[in-house]
Structure 1
Amino acid sequence: MISSVLKQDVVTETVREWLASGKYRCGDRIPTNDELARMFGMNQRTISIGLNRLVAEGLLERAPRRGTLVRQKVSTPASNAVALVTVSEGDVYGEMAWTANRILQEHGLFPVILDSNLTEDSAGIISFLKRFVAKQQPYGFLAEGTTNFPYDFLRENPEKFGNTVFLFRYHNPVEMPWCRYVLIDMDEMGRLAVEYFASKGVKRLAFPAISERKSYMGPWNSMQVQVMQSLAKYAPRKGISFDESLFWRLHGGAPLEETLRFELNRKDRPDAMFVWSDSQCAFHILPILKKAGLSYPKDILLLGVYNTPHSEKHHFPSFDMCADNVVKIGIEMLTGECKEQKIVLPPRLVEH
């Protein structure tokens, strides 16, 4: 049989955990002694002794005719840990993690990195975040706002994730007012791309999209679509023809090589392509051009994104996503050095 002292401990620590988890918030009434006695299978005297400890700690209060109320939330130990949540792959995200690690340590903060090698889905990110806040109150969170980020989980727990900064993108239609944002300006990327192509005398521009058939929910969760909309807006102003239909066919899952070869064999084929990633350009677009008897830059101009070694190797221009600057500003927001809630940075076009 469990001793009376151990039973009291069970009551105290169970209710303490309820308060820490947010099951009951400040001002809430917890179950009555009678209800708790039935719940725990104990007598009301044992329940009362267990609760009195939490009253003495200032976590609960006895209110006449109202019952036992939550007076304050259980505080968890503060730490200098900062979670960096990014599940994307590629050079730019590796650079982001490396930069964050360096700058956080310069601030005396300890980075804990969750990347795509550990999880790719929302449930995995939630599991990581729950474990991360279970025994401590982290200093803050740096998160890449991908489509699979658990935004609703943060909305349900604002007291735990108040010091959160989203980096590069935010793929959710509604911003959280207690979070901060350092994002890349996709509209400006499209405008700069059009300016570049216009300076080269381009007349017909194509954007062979990477398929997002399974994940697309609207322009707010696709940087590709945001840039495409910008290209469609600015290209006509520079006398450049831009046909959205190719983009949408490929975006919806049409086979890349077959679809693109058809476009390249047309009499009015494009003389330039905006390609969403350097790797897509290097491993898919360039081989397709070669099979079609075309070459870069003689027959068609290319412009990539992410400014990786692929663009340098093949000598095509590419947009740099300014990872160092994004992370630097994000950490300044995290530490309070930067008071802005949202900063949108232009990408940088790099010619090789």
Structure 2
Amino acid sequence: MSAKTKYNIVKEQITEWITSGKVKPGEKIYSENELVKMFGVSRHTIRQAVGDLVHEGLLYREQGAGTFCSYKPDQTREQTPSLNDKSNNTVKNIGVITTYISDYIFPSIIKGIESHLTAQGYSLTLACTDNDLEKEKQCLQTMLKRNIDGLIVEPTKSSHYNPNIKYYLELEQNNIPYLMINQYYSQLMPPHIIMNDEHGGFIAAEHLIKLSHEKILGLFKNDDLQGVNRMQGFIHAFREHSLPLFPEMVITFTTEDQNINLLERLEKFFKTDSRPTAIVCYNDQLAINVLNMLRRLGLRVPEDISIVGFDDSSLAVATEVKLTSITHPKMDMGIEAAKWIISAVEKKGHPPSIVYEPELVIRNSTASFRESTK
């Protein structure tokens, strides 16, 4: 039996459990070890099959908890003849595509969406792109095949041209409303619920400037608009306070190099004489990685280096050093997104887009430059 055949057997069997209702929405499937023993295949085969089902929206992962069913079987829906001929007796289904499902702030956003949708009698189909455009294409194709009533999307690599625009235009052609969260594709200018990321970058940098820091390093992701806008705000703060900003003090990175290459570049930078006294990080996840790197180098936070994160996630208070961070609405954003899509699906009109204003939450990862050098 070939590896491909084993993979297909595993994937088809798990799919059958889900679509038949043997595993219900929100229920945990067997563990990886249990699936290995059950099917008599390698761990790699199990991971490949389960990973594909996650990308297709049938399953979702929760870090540290396991893998769960996200698909709600709906036999009446499968018999619906066309996109424009929907029975009022059918449970309406909303698709949700995010870049990630189980990591960082995304579970809170999804929980907000799910809590309101289920309370209103809607079903939910989840999928994730891993911030990969080809996977986004697959997710969109799957959603269209499932005859969804509406779609909530977190864009993939939103600062780049998106080659999947035609699928969004197909949604529009079929009168399926969609909403973008966290950012949006500028080519489409769709309804959206986002943060004022530029202002967030501004107040993060301004906080450190007011603490008398001048050599402030900015670390920003450049393949999504959140990072680009946060960087713009960071640069604007220096101009507003008439401070010089040296080119080497702005470092950008992509999704692909954020975990390894970026930290390697930073470590070399911190071993030079031009070491900064403070850092603004693209998000709290990166701030924690930077904090751990500084510890390895024998540098203290905030005594030697001040750090500001972004999103005020659970990670901000997960370590001994509590991060100063910029707020993100998280669950509230999810609830508002669910309210918006229900209003659009039920033809009650399209509410206006929402832009949340961020706030600074000060903790002990930042200190005055003069105090920290004493």
Report the TM-score, using the length of structure 1 for normalisation: 0.66
Matched ranges for 1:1-352 at <5 A: 75-77=85-87, 79=90, 80-89=92-101, 90-115=103-128, 121-133=135-147, 138-147=148-157, 150-170=164-184, 172-176=185-189, 179-210=190-221, 216=223, 221-248=224-251, 250=253, 255-283=261-289, 285-312=290-317, 313=319, 314-336=321-343, 339-352=350-363
In 1, the alpha carbon distance for the partners of 2:93 and 2:359 equals 32
Task: Please give the secondary structure, in 2, of the residue aligned with 1:232.
Answer: helix
The structure-2 alpha-carbon separation of the partners of 1:263 and 1:180, relative to structure 1 and needing over 3 Å to count, comes to: same
CA displacement 1:226-252 (0-9 Å, x = unmatched): 211221122232254433435346559
The structure-2 alpha-carbon separation of the partners of 1:241 and 1:269, relative to structure 1 and needing over 3 Å to count, comes to: farther
Note the C-alpha offset of 1:188: 1.0
In 1, the alpha carbon distance for the partners of 2:173 and 2:252 equals 43
| Count of aligned positions | 265
Q: Is 1:187–1:226's contact at 8 Å kept on the other side of the alignment?
A: yes
Task: Please give the secondary structure, in 2, of the residue aligned with 1:208.
Answer: strand
In 1, the alpha carbon distance for the partners of 2:172 and 2:349 equals 21
CA displacement 1:162-187 (0-9 Å, x = unmatched): 321111111x23234xx421111111
Task: Please give the secondary structure, in 2, of the residue aligned with 1:113.
Answer: strand
Structure 2 residue identity aligned to 1:294? L
In 2, the alpha carbon distance for the partners of 1:297 and 1:205 equals 13
In 2, the alpha carbon distance for the partners of 1:338 and 1:282 equals 42
CA displacement 1:72-111 (0-9 Å, x = unmatched): 9962435421111113242311111111111112222222
The structure-2 alpha-carbon separation of the partners of 1:83 and 1:132, relative to structure 1 and needing over 3 Å to count, comes to: same
Task: Please give the secondary structure, in 2, of the residue aligned with 1:145.
Answer: coil
Task: Please give the secondary structure, in 2, of the residue aligned with 1:315.
Answer: coil
Note the C-alpha offset of 1:299: 0.9
Note the C-alpha offset of 1:112: 2.0
In 2, the alpha carbon distance for the partners of 1:166 and 1:346 equals 17
CA displacement 1:202-232 (0-9 Å, x = unmatched): 212101345x6xxx4xxxx432122112211
Note the C-alpha offset of 1:301: 0.7
Note the C-alpha offset of 1:270: 1.4
Structure 2 residue identity aligned to 1:279? Q
Q: Is 2:96–2:151's contact at 8 Å kept on the other side of the alignment?
A: yes
Q: Is 1:206–1:243's contact at 8 Å kept on the other side of the alignment?
A: no
Question: Looking at CA atoms only, which structure, 1 or 2, has the larger radius of gyration?
Answer: 1
In 1, the alpha carbon distance for the partners of 2:349 and 2:362 equals 31
Note the C-alpha offset of 1:195: 2.6
Task: Please give the secondary structure, in 1, of the residue aligned with 2:157.
Answer: coil
Q: Which residue of 2 aligns with 1:13?
A: none
Structure 1 gaps of 5+ residues are 1-71
Q: Is 1:145–1:166's contact at 8 Å kept on the other side of the alignment?
A: yes
Note the C-alpha offset of 1:322: 0.6
Q: Is 1:202–1:240's contact at 8 Å kept on the other side of the alignment?
A: no
Task: Please give the secondary structure, in 2, of the residue aligned with 1:224.
Answer: helix
Report the TM-score, using the length of structure 2 for normalisation: 0.62
The structure-2 alpha-carbon separation of the partners of 1:73 and 1:189, relative to structure 1 and needing over 3 Å to count, comes to: closer
Identical columns (%): 14
The structure-2 alpha-carbon separation of the partners of 1:258 and 1:109, relative to structure 1 and needing over 3 Å to count, comes to: closer
The structure-2 alpha-carbon separation of the partners of 1:302 and 1:73, relative to structure 1 and needing over 3 Å to count, comes to: closer
CA displacement 1:131-181 (0-9 Å, x = unmatched): 221xxxx432211122387332111341335321111111x23234xx421
